Amino acid sequence: MLHSGLTIVATLAILAVIPALSIQYREFLDRTGLRASVGLTILISASSLLIWLLVSFFVPGVWISPLEYPTASLAAVAGFLASLPVRDTTSHPLPAALFAAGWTALVFVPVAIVVLFPTSVGIPLTAGPLDLGGALPVQVAVGAGALVVLTVARRWAVEDRSHVRPRSWLLLVSGLVIWAGWLLGFVGLELTLDSVITPRIILNTLIAPVLGIVGWLIAQRIVSATTTAGGAVAGLFSGIVAISAGSAYFTPLWAGLTGLVAGLASALFVTRRIRATGRHAWFLVGAHLIAAAVGLLMVGIFGLGLGLVYNGQLTLLQVQFVSIVAVVLWSGFVSLLLWLAVRQSARRGARALQV
């Protein structure tokens, strides 16, 4: 009964993050109007969720697990996020929908099965990476895909849309919704209420984003001598992403350090890439790939009882590092192939309309 309740809480909390993410990423969405944009977001998220449910039905160790439906909600979030670089680089909705569906099937599904359900494919629990909140199949994979698409699509991109960014108060409210959604999601993904682990997850998920804000604002002051509300929200988001893998494995001190480092690293990358390219979509790489990579590596160093500082062993850190590299390479490779395919479909559609 408890498992069922936590499963429902995790599933609904993670799904509730999607509308808030849509507000955060309004500037990256398609140019077909608000109603069409909302419809495309619903289509992509629902398709990704259904793709996960369909494929997982054929993996016995997955469909009988209480984590199946929370993972379906992670698939919906990942599919939506994966579509954003495509939606930022073309005004045609079909490429984004096709890209997200292919990406979910070929990247999210296999990575999620290996990371979250390792025993279903013959991998011992102790041999895989530690990743409570799906940082590898969602954040790292999405960031790697965005890195590839934004790199190869530079000459085919439409104009930057930073001028349609929501007002600061709306960004803040949506950021707080994302924070609350992931916090409840992390608690639910643990599938139990423990007197030690549950308070640790909650406390760490509160501390890391706050220090993420501090890290981002410090970097912002260094790079541009400014302090903005948008920067604070970006730091909050980076801290949430960074703590997603290890919220159950850190002391509050290490959780805070993780958020601080993630905020600093993400901000330095994002601000410099925006200055170099003029495109704000690089936030997708900084706040997802870099912040998540920081969090995963920090687990290998500071994970309670398992990290380098506790047992002097490099084993977990090596597993975390190899997992990041493997997901980046796979997601990047698949994203490149999918981008090339959907770009051709968009060009053919544009020529057909001209005729």
Q: What is the DSSP string of 226-281?
A: ---HHHHHHHHHHHHHHHTTTTTT--HHHHHHHHHHHHHHHHHHHHHHHHHH--GG
10 Å CB burial of residue 145 (0-12, 13-18, 19+) is buried
Checking if the pLDDT of 354 tops 70, the result is: no
Of 205, 217, 285, residue with least CA distance to 247: 205
66-81: b or e for each residue (b if 16 or more CB lie within 10 Å)?
ebbbbbbbbbbbbbbb
Q: Give the pLDDT score at 33.
A: 65
What average pLDDT score do residues 337-352 get? 70
Q: What is the identity of the amino acid at 144?
A: A
To the nearest 10°, report the CA torsion of 107, 11, 29, 343.
20
- Could you tell me if 244 and 291 are in contact, meaning their C-beta atoms sit under 8 angstroms apart? no
End-to-end CA distance of the chain: 60
- Could you tell me if 105 and 141 are in contact, meaning their C-beta atoms sit under 8 angstroms apart? no
- CATH of residue 209's domain is 1.10.3430.10
What average pLDDT score do residues 225-253 get? 92
Sequence-distant (6+) residues with CB within 8 A of 149 are: 85, 86, 89, 335, 339
Tell me the three state secondary structure of residue 44. Answer: helix
Checking if the pLDDT of 42 tops 90, the result is: yes
Considering the chain, what is the average pLDDT of its residues? 88
Q: How do residues 62-78 score in pLDDT, each as one tens digit?
A: 988 889 999 999 999 99
Q: Give the pLDDT score at 32.
A: 61
pTM for this model (two decimals): 0.92
In angstroms, the CA 235 to CA 281 distance is 16
| Residue % of the chain over a pLDDT of 90 | 60
Tally of domains in the chain? 1
Q: Given pLDDT bands bounded at 50, 70 and 90, which one contains residue 355?
A: very low
- Alpha-helical (H) ranges within the chain are 2-24, 34-56, 60-63, 68-89, 93-103, 109-116, 141-152, 168-189, 197-224, 229-243, 252-277, 283-284, 291-302, 308-311, 315-354
For the chain, give the number of residues: 355
In angstroms, the CA 83 to CA 41 distance is 9
* Structural domain boundaries, residue 225: 2-354
Q: How do residues 300-324 score in pLDDT, each as one tens digit?
A: 999 999 999 999 999 999 999 999 9
Measured on CA atoms in the order 84, 80, 183, 229, is the torsion positive or negative?
positive
Checking if the pLDDT of 31 tops 70, the result is: no
Tokens of 165: 């960014």
Q: Given pLDDT bands bounded at 50, 70 and 90, which one contains residue 348?
A: low
Q: How do residues 177-198 score in pLDDT, each as one tens digit?
A: 999 999 999 988 887 888 899 9
Q: Give the pLDDT score at 3.
A: 66
In angstroms, the CA 238 to CA 75 distance is 20
Q: How do residues 256-276 score in pLDDT, each as one tens digit?
A: 999 999 999 999 999 998 888
Q: Given pLDDT bands bounded at 50, 70 and 90, which one contains residue 346?
A: low
